Amino acid sequence: MVQQLTYVYGFNLRVARAMVDDLTPEQMVEQPHGVVNHPAWSLGHLVVVADWLGRLLGLESEVADGWATVFATGGIPSNDASRYPSKEELLEALAAQHARNSAAIEAIDPAWFDTPNPDEKRRQRFPTVGDQAVYLMTAHEMLHLGQVAAWRRAMGLPPARR
């Protein structure tokens, strides 16, 4: 199961790179036709959430100062490019998070997956840390990458080449 989980997590990273590979810095923050979550915000949000997953796995936070605020759930993305790291910085940070989280998941005691979720609010939806981790590594990432795919269509761009 762990191999399948880390495989999908790696697949998501490849999709993320493909979704933004052809974008200019200006495009990274455009909000066409009311589509608010642009690629810069979406990638940064995935970095921040992956860092949170890392802490759930017992790792130290590695998210850059200020990113947790800029990319917070419920935050309002801006079309001001100066508020965001570059595409390259975002992809590097996401790749680093993926690498450390994958290594931690592969090395963790399988019993960890059945540990009750320590976050009382999230425990209602994800009773165990395993439930939370699997969601964050798969569905949550693909949800936001799907938003980037819809954003590409709103921009009149072709589908990303994967």
Q: Is the pTM here over 0.85, yes or no?
A: yes
The two three-digit tokens of residue 134, written as one number: 């699997």
101: nearest Cα among 132, 55, 138:
55
Helices (H) and strands (E) in the chain, counts: 7, 0
pLDDT tens-digit map of 115-162: 999 999 999 999 999 999 999 999 999 999 999 999 999 999 999 986
Cα separation, 141 vs 132, in Å, equals 12
The CATH architecture assigned to 2-154 reads: Up-down Bundle (1.20)
- pLDDT, one tens digit per residue, over 33-77 is 989 999 999 999 999 999 999 999 999 999 999 999 999 998 889
Q: Quick count: other Cβ atoms within 10 Å of Cβ 161? A: 8
